[in-house]
Chains A and B, each alone.
Chain A
Amino acid sequence: MTAHHDPSRLADLDDDALVRAARADGEPARAALEALLVRHEKRVYATCLRIVGDPETARDLAQDTLVRVIGAVGAFDGRARFTTWLTRIAMNVCISHLRKAKHRRAASLEAPVAAGPVGRDLLESAEPTAAGRVELDEDLARVARAMRALEEPQRVMLVLRDVRGLDYREIAEALHLPIGTVKSRLFRAREALRRAVEADDTDHHE
Chain B
Amino acid sequence: MPPEALLLAAIEDEPLAPDDRRVLDEALQREPGLASFLAGARRDRDLVRALARLDEGRAPPGLARAALAHAERAAIVGAGLPDAGPRRLRITPVRFVAAAAVLLLAGSASIVGLIFSGPTTNRPPGLAPTGPAGPGLAQAPTEATAPPGEPGDALALADAPGRAEAARQRSASVASAPAETAQGGSLADAEESADPAGAGLAYRMIRSVKAGPDRAVSPERAAALALKGRLMIVAQTTVPPAQVEAALLEPADAARTEALVRWRPIAELAPGADPLPADGPRLVLADAVASPAVLEGVLGRLRSLGGAGAWLQELDRPIRLTPRADESDARWWLRPGEAWAPRATTPVLIEPAPAEAPR
Complex CA distance for A197 and B42, rounded to whole angstroms? 12
Interface of A is mostly: helix
Interface residues of A in 45-76 (CB under 8 A from B): 45-47, 49-50, 55, 59-60, 62-64, 66-67, 69-71
- A67-B67, A162-B52 given; A46·B40 CB < 8 A: no
Q: Is the CB of B55 within 8 A of A187?
A: no
Q: Please report the total number of B residues contacting A with Cβ < 8 Å.
A: 41
Report whether A45 and B56 are in contact in the complex, using a CB–CB cutoff of 8 Å: yes
Q: Which of B5-13, B170-178, B237-245, B248-256 contacts A (4 or more CB under 8 A)?
A: B5-13
In Å, the complex CA distance between A187 and B38 comes to: 11
Q: How far is the CA of A69 from the CA of B64 in the complex (A)?
A: 10
* Contact A37 to B64, CB < 8 A, known contacts A46-B59, A118-B57, A194-B41: yes
Partner of B44, one of A34, A42, A193: A193
Q: Which stretch from B84-92, B104-112, B341-349 is at the chain A interface?
A: B84-92
Would you give the shortest CB distance from A66 to chain B, in whole angstroms? 4
B52 touches which of A46, A188, A193 (Cβ 8 Å): A46
What is the CB-to-nearest-CB distance from B99 to chain A, in angstroms, rounded to a whole number? Answer: 15
> Is B63 touching A30 in the complex (CB atoms < 8 A)?
no
With known contacts A55-B58, A190-B41, A34–B65 Cβ distance under 8 A: yes
Which residues on B sit within 8 Å (CB–CB) of A163? 48-49, 51-52, 55
Q: Mark B33-72, 1 if CB is under 8 A from A, else 0.
A: 0000100110111111111111111111001111110110
Q: How many inter-chain contacts with C-beta < 8 Å in the A-B complex?
A: 153
Residue contact A70 to B71, C-beta cutoff 8 Å: yes
Instruction: Give the complex CA separation of A121 and B332 in angstroms.
Output: 63
Distance A193 CA – B94 CA, assembled complex (angstroms): 32
- How many residues in A have their beta carbons less than 8 Å from beta carbons of B? 61
A119 adjacent to B37 (CB under 8 Å): no
Say yes or no: A122-B53 contact (C-beta < 8 A), given A34-B68, A60-B90. Answer: yes
Residues of A close to B4: CB separation below 8 A: 183-184, 187-188
A115 to B55, CA, bound (A): 10
> With an 8 A cutoff between CB atoms, is A113 at the interface?
yes
**By the criterion CB–CB under 8 Å, are B56 and A140 in contact?**
no
Query: Contacts A34-B64, A70-B68, A143-B47: A118 and B54 contacting too (C-beta < 8 A)?
Result: yes
Q: Is A131 an interface residue (CB 8 A)?
A: no
The one of A46, A60, A71 that contacts B88, using a Cβ cutoff of 8 Å:
A60
Which one of A71, A116, A146, A190 has the highest number of Cβ atoms from chain B below 10 Å of its Cβ? A190
Nearest chain B CB to A28's CB is how many angstroms away? 14
- The secondary structure that dominates the B interface is helix
Quote the shortest CB–CB distance from A159 to chain B (angstroms).
8
CB pair A183 B56 closer than 8 Å? no
Least distance between B95 CB and chain A CB atoms (Å) = 10
Q: Across the interface, do B53 and A194 meet the contact criterion of CB distance under 8 Å?
A: no
CB distance from B71 to the nearest CB of A (A): 4
Contact in complex: A113, B89 (CB < 8 Å)? no
Tell me whether B63 and A45 are in contact (CB under 8 A): yes
Query: Which of A49, A71, A158 is the one whose CB lies under 8 Å from B55?
Result: A49
Docked complex Cα distance between A38 and B57 (Å): 13
- Shortest A72–chain B CB gap in Å is 11
- A60-B90, A162-B48, A194-B37 known; A183 vs B54 contact (CB < 8 Å): no
Complex CA gap A191/B11 in Å reads 11
For residue A112, CB closer than 8 A to chain B, the reply is yes
Q: Which residue of A lies closest to B44 (CB)?
A: A193
Binding site for B on A (CB under 8 A): 30, 33-34, 37-38, 40-47, 49-50, 55, 59-60, 62-64, 66-67, 69-71, 96, 100-101, 112-113, 115-116, 118-119, 122-125, 139-140, 143-144, 146-147, 158, 162-165, 183-184, 186-188, 190-191, 193-194, 197-198
A-B contact pairs, 28 of them (CB 8 A): A37-B67, A38-B65, A40-B64, A45-B59, A46-B53, A50-B48, A59-B63, A63-B88, A66-B64, A101-B92, A115-B50, A115-B54, A118-B53, A122-B53, A122-B54, A123-B47, A123-B50, A124-B46, A139-B43, A140-B47, A140-B51, A144-B51, A164-B52, A184-B5, A187-B4, A187-B11, A190-B41, A197-B40
